[in-house]
Amino acid sequence: MKVLVTGATGQMGRDIVLLLQKEGYSVAACSREQLDVTDQSECQKVISSYNPEVVIHCAAYTAVDAAEKDHVGAYKVNALGTRNIALASEKSDAKLIYISTDYVFDGNNDIPYQEYDNTNPQSIYGKSKRAGEMMVQSFSSKWFIVRTSWVYGLHGNNFVKTMLKLGQEKPKLQVVHDQKGSPTYTVDLARLLIDLMVTDKYGIYHASNTGACTWYEFTQAIFEEAKAVANISIQTELEPCTTEQFPRPAPRPRNSVMDHLSIQINDFPDLRHWREGLRDFLMNYSNHS
């Protein structure tokens, strides 16, 4: 099976490419330089020349706070870019997997969000990713929309790497304790994407490591596991704080925990608990470093 991956040098893209290659798939790994998703003719040319059976669309504008002032940039990549990929994939009769986000919800639910709950994004990033979902549903006939949350991996910058750095440098560290979600290890998400792509069980999927925590609880676990499995010395004193104490340009969902209803009803294996994924990441991170 031939698979084309957009955003292949990004955090998620690199791990899905590595896993696809490891499992013997033929992969076209397209970086931003090799495939500008905002250029419609280039998308048609690159995808038609490779003629993949599956396109995994990882390329995205992910600078959540910057998007609040750069509306055009966010929509150009996340909405128009996704339209271009959807049209080109459809022309090649390829299945399309679109990586979306928990930010399509407002975060006001008291219970986890299911795939068919109404969306209500509050940030420009969330609105532009929701627009991308609409493009996929409008222009592709064989699609998977995979919403994920709190993603981290070996490649690129992310919350776990930032906390590890600050934990070794800062005497005191405050982390938000009133936003709840599910951390997701890129390797675990990549495995699910491969499970999905070989089927025709199309639709919207919520995919994160199972279980939930606040950012403060996640940081506690990062520090505990870093000491236990990676022998990383953490010196900082950790303190909880509120969202109001740590204002950001873009609003964050207070609750972005997602129910994995589609995974369950379609009989896919669910992702493991977030703490197990974190432990594996830290072991790999230690070895990689």
pLDDT in the model for residue 66? 97
Predicted confidence (pLDDT) per residue in 217-256, tens digit: 999 999 999 999 888 889 899 999 999 998 899 999 999 9
Catalytic status, residue 116: no
| Cα separation values, 93 from 30, 57, 88, 203, 241, Å | 19, 15, 9, 17, 50
What ranges make up the beta strands (E) of 141-197?
A: 143-148, 151-152, 172-176, 180-181, 184-185
**Tokens representing 67?**
């998007």
Determine the pLDDT at residue 233.
Answer: 87
Give residue 86's identity as a one-letter amino acid code: A
d(CA 253, CA 124) in angstroms, rounded, equals 13
pLDDT per residue as tens digits for the range 188-207: 999 999 999 999 999 999 99
Instruction: Give the pLDDT mean for 59-76.
Output: 97
Question: Above 80 in pLDDT, residue 289?
Answer: no
Place of tokens 């219970």: 111
β-pairing, 26-30 vs 54-57, is: unpaired
Q: Which of 25, 125, 152, 285 is catalytic?
A: 125
Residue 288 has pLDDT above 80, yes or no: no
For the 2-158+183-210+257-273 domain, the top CATH level (class) is: alpha beta
In the chain, what are the domain boundaries? 2-158+183-210+257-273
Which pLDDT value is given to residue 9? 95
Stretch 208-223: mean pLDDT: 98
Span 30-52, pLDDT tens digits: 999 999 999 999 999 999 999 99
